[in-house]
C-alpha cells in the first residue's frame, strides 16, 4: 500500500530507497565514513548503519560547516543517500551539500507523515512534484 504526503522541495530530483530514520542530528564531518557511508559514532542512534542508497530521514546537521563537503564525498564515492528528508526545516549544511551533489532534499512534510514511516520501509521522494510516498509491505 502506498501512502503519499506533500512536502517542500529544497533540492529537486527523484530518489527511492529504504527509509533510515533517526531523531538524532548528525555531524557529518565526525560521524560518517565517506567511503562506505557508515555512521561510525558509537553514541549515535544509527551507529553501524549505512546511508548508502537509503532515504535518510533526520532532523538536520550539526557541528562542522565542512559537512557539506562530506555529503559531496559520499556522492562521488557512490555511498550517498538516494534522497534526504529533513524532519525539521532543512539546514544550510545539508541543503548546500545536496545542491552540489544532486541529492533530492525535502522538508516540511504533511502532519502525520512520520507516524507512517518506519526504518526499512520503501520511500519514494519526488522533490520536483513535492511528494513523498511510503510503501508499507506489511499491509
Partner 1 sequence: MELTGEEENMLRGERGESLAVAYRILLAIGEATEAERLIPVKWAHISGVNYNTIGDSGVDFLEEFSKSARVVIRTTINPMGFDQNKTVNLSENFTKKQMSIARSYHMLGTTTSFTCVPYEIFDIPEKGSAVSFAESNAAVFSNSILGLLTNRESALSALASSITGKSPYSNLLMDKFRHAKVTVKPDYELVTELDYGLLGYFAGNTVSDNCIGINAGEEKLDTIKAKALSAAIGTSGSCGMFTKEQGTKQEIISCGKQEVITIKDELNTAEDGDLIALGSPQLGLNELHLLAALVEGKRLKKRCIIFCARAIHSQAERLGLIDGIEHAGGEFMCDSCTCLTPLITRADFDSVITNSVKAAYYLNHSNRVGVCLKDLKTIIKECADYN
The count of other CB atoms within 10 Å of the CB of residue 80 is 26
Catalytic-labelled residue, pool 30, 49, 50, 64: 64
- In angstroms, give the least distance from the CB of 123 to partner 1: 20
Instruction: Report how far residue 20's alpha carbon sits from residue 1's, in angstroms, rounded to the nearest whole number.
Output: 19
- In angstroms, give the least distance from the CB of 129 to partner 1: 16
Single residue of 21, 51, 55, 61 touching partner 1 by CB under 8 A: 61
Single out the residue of 16, 79, 86 nearest to residue 57, CA to CA: 86
Q: x/- binding map, residues 26-45, to partner 1, per CB under 8 A?
A: -x-xxx--x------x-x--
- The three grid cell numbers given for residue 133, joined into one nine-digit string: 510516498
Q: Which is nearer to partner 1, 66 or 110 (CB)?
A: 66
- In angstroms, give the least distance from the CB of 68 to partner 1: 4
Question: To which H or E segment does residue 83 belong?
Answer: strand 83-86
64 catalytic? Reply is yes
CA atoms lying within 13 Å on the CB side of residue 38: 6
User: Which phi and psi angles does 71 have, rounded to 5°?
Assistant: -60, -40
Q: Are 55 and 22 in contact (CB under 8 A)?
A: no
Kindly state whether residue 24 participates in binding partner 1, applying the rule CB under 8 A.
no
Q: How many residues bind partner 1 (CB under 8 A)?
A: 43
What positions carry a catalytic annotation?
A: 64
Residues near partner 1, by CB under 8 A: 8-11, 25, 27, 29-31, 34, 41, 43, 59-69, 72-73, 75-77, 88-100, 105, 107
Amino acid at each position: 500500500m502506498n501512502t503519499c504526503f506533500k512536502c517542500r522541495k529544497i533540492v529537486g530530483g527523484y530518489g527511492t530507497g529504504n527509509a533510515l530514520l533517526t531523531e538524532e542530528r548528525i555531524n557529518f564531518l565526525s560521524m560518517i565514513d565517506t567511503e562506505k557511508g557508515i555512521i561510525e559514532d558509537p553514541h549515535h542512534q544509527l551507529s553501524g548503519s549505512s546511508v548508502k542508497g537509503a532515504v535518510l530521514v533526520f532532523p538536520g546537521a550539526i557541528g562542522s560547516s565542512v559537512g557539506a563537503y562530506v555529503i559531496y564525498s559520499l556522492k562521488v564515492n557512490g555511498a550517498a543517500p538516494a534522497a534526504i528528508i529533513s524532519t525539521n526545516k532543512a539546514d544550510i549544511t545539508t541543503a548546500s551539500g545536496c545542491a552540489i551533489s544532486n541529492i533530492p532534499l525535502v522538508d516540511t512534510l504533511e502532519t502525520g507523515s512520520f507516524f507512517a514511516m518506519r526504518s526499512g520501509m520503501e520511500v519514494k521522494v519526488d522533490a520536483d512534484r513535492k511528494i513523498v510516498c511510503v510503501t508499507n509491505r506489511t499491509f
